């Protein structure tokens, strides 16, 4: 079916900052994970919940229409911003400060594996000390801090969510990395940076939030200096994904709704988008296809037999069905008595659906969160 191009949403940075202040108050720099979740403004949280879930409630994959999907793409920026308004604390509580998946090696601790995935991208992009680098969709800055330490580069983190920027800024300060890192609020489809600004740009599991891959890759191409390099871990449906198969569609929609994604594409679309944007593709590989003994999705599958370090138990236990069940019911009870804001359990349950669909997508090889592409902007 022919697709109408998504409109870009009009930015309003003052409105977004005021909303961040209203919803998150002082939780941004002062509270962590679970405690931060309890400190939200209830009315503002309701607005974020309604604004996010209006795109998903009563819209099952079997009845999904192109109009429904277009409405999500048209509101990609608001949809993603509110998703992270709702999900950031849960991510930090139940995962880490690096919001991405990774490959796992035997004997390797969870955080070490996350960091290795970040180092691997820096290596493949050949990042060198002193380079001016852009991190597109930087989350709370876990990867930027690691890559800044690993490669000695200076990184600008771009993010459309003020709450994440506040947290990323506080973490950078705490780790004494403020001289190498700075954060900018903005929509990655319409960046405020001039043409030819950066030596390198990377995006770790972030550009999937764009309404169009060609749109985001073209914008990245624009801000890269000639000869500059772009490296990305992309979330994509594989060639095995069949859009006419109801089971496949259910998995894709489950991932999209629980992960704030307006439109997830297949591998061939991403490859064409890189070319159309003007990149010379130097590397493309689905890292999920490597014959690893420990699959990338295992922490979400709750298979603790794969755990490599006993010190990981407190984090990994939270991701199991039991761990999730206890935490989600607990926040549900707090919601009932008015301590947690309304919608906390709904958000957590939606993440749990996403987790199951991510695992199913991984097991059935329908989905990858680590399609690696490295492209270069021609020097002339
Ligand atoms: C959304 C994108 C593009 C990237 C984020 C990838 C992952 C870091 C997240 C995807 C699903 C998330 C879930 C959790 C943490 C972060 C993810 C793995 C939880 C484990 C957080 C704690 C909750 O109780 C359950 C969540 C399940 C999904």
Per-residue model confidence as pLDDT tens digits over 302-351:
899 998 999 999 999 999 999 999 999 999 999 999 999 999 999 999 99
Ligand 1 pocket test: pick from 90, 203, 345 the residue with the most ligand atoms within 8 Å of its Cβ.
Answer: 90
Per-residue b/e over 97-127, b at no fewer than 16 CB within 10 Å? bbbbbbbbeeebbbbbbbbbbbbbbbebbeb
In short, whether 90's Cβ falls inside 6 Å of ligand 1 is yes
Q: Residue 189 has what DSSP assignment?
A: T
Q: Which two tokens stand for residue 316?
A: 């990994």
CA dist., res. 92 & res. 81, Å (int):
17
Q: How far is the CA of 355 from the centre of ligand 1 (A)?
A: 7
Q: Chain-wide mean pLDDT for the chain?
A: 95
H or E element in which residue 199 lies? strand 198-204
- Calculate Rg over the CA atoms of the chain: 20
> Given this model, what pLDDT does residue 33 score?
77
Q: How far is the CA of 255 from the centre of ligand 1 (A)?
A: 10
In short, whether 203's Cβ falls inside 6 Å of ligand 1 is no
Q: Around 252, how many Cα atoms within 13 Å sit in the side-chain half-sphere?
A: 25
CB contact at 8 A, 147 and 128: no
Q: Which two tokens stand for residue 24?
A: 């998150």
Q: Residue 291 has what DSSP assignment?
A: -
In short, whether 208's Cβ falls inside 6 Å of ligand 1 is yes
> Read out DSSP for 54-106?
TTTTT--GGG--HHHHHHHHHTHHHHHHHHHHHHHHHHHHHT-SS-S-----T
In short, whether 100's Cβ falls inside 6 Å of ligand 1 is yes
Q: How far is the CA of 92 from the centre of ligand 1 (A)?
A: 9
The predicted-structure confidence for 142-183, as pLDDT tens digits, reads as follows: 999 999 999 999 999 999 999 999 999 999 999 999 999 999
Q: Residue 376 has what DSSP assignment?
A: E
Q: How far is the CA of 254 from the centre of ligand 1 (A)?
A: 13
Tell me the ipTM for this assembly: 0.99
Q: How far is the CA of 376 from the centre of ligand 1 (A)?
A: 31
Provide the phi-psi class of 313: left if phi over 0, else alpha when psi is between -120 and 50, else beta. alpha
In short, whether 348's Cβ falls inside 6 Å of ligand 1 is yes
SS3 379: coil
352 Cα nearest atom in ligand 1? 27
In short, whether 86's Cβ falls inside 6 Å of ligand 1 is no
> Given this model, what pLDDT does residue 4 score?
44
User: Atom 8, ligand 1: which residue's CA is nearest?
Assistant: 99
CA dist., res. 113 & res. 297, Å (int):
13
Strands 280-286 and 367-376, sheet pairing: antiparallel
In short, whether 205's Cβ falls inside 6 Å of ligand 1 is yes
324 Cα nearest atom in ligand 1? 24
Question: Does the pTM exceed 0.90?
Answer: yes
Question: pLDDT grade, residue 69 (50/70/90)?
Answer: very high
Closest to 132 (Cα-Cα) out of 209, 13, 204, 227: 227
């Amino acid at each position: 079916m022919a697709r109408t191009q998504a409109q870009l949403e009009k930015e309003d940075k003052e409105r977004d900052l005021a909303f961040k202040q209203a919803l998150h108050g002082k939780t941004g720099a002062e509270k962590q994970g679970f405690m931060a979740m309890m400190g939200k403004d209830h009315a503002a949280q309701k607005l974020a919940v309604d604004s996010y879930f209006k795109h998903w409630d009563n819209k099952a994959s079997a009845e999904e229409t192109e109009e429904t999907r277009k409405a999500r793409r048209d509101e990609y920026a608001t949809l993603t911003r509110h998703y992270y308004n709702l999900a950031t604390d849960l991510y930090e509580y139940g995962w880490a400060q690096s919001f991405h998946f990774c490959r796992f090696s035997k004997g390797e601790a969870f955080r070490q594996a996350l960091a290795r995935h970040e180092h691997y991208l820096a290596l493949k992009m050949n990042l060198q000390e002193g380079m001016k680098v852009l991190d597109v969709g930087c989350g709370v800055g876990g990867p930027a801090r690691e890559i800044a330490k690993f490669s000695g580069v200076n990184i600008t983190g771009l993010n459309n969510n003020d709450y994440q920027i506040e947290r990323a800024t506080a973490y950078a300060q705490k780790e004494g990395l403020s001289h190498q890192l700075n954060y900018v609020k903005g929509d990655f489809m319409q960046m405020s940076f001039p043409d030819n600004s950066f030596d390198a740009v990377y995006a770790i599991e972030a550009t999937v939030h764009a309404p169009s891959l060609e749109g985001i890759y073209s914008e990245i191409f624009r801000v890269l200096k000639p000869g500059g390099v772009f490296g990305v871990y992309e979330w994509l449906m594989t060639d095995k994904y069949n859009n006419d198969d109801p089971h496949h569609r259910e998995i894709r929609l489950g991932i999209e709704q629980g992960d704030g994604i307006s439109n997830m594409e297949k591998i061939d679309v991403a490859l064409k988008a890189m070319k159309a944007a003007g990149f010379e593709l130097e590397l493309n590989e689905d890292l999920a296809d490597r014959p690893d003994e420990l699959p990338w999705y295992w922490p979400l599958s709750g298979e603790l037999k794969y755990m490599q370090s006993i010190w990981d138990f407190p984090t990994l236990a939270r991701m199991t069905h039991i761990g999730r069940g206890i935490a989600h019911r607990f926040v549900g009870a707090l919601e009932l008595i008015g301590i947690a804001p309304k919608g906390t359990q709904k958000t957590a349950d939606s993440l749990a659906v996403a987790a199951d669909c991510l695992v199913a997508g991984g097991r059935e090889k329908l989905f990858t969160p680590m399609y690696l592409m490295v492209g270069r902007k021609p020097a002339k």
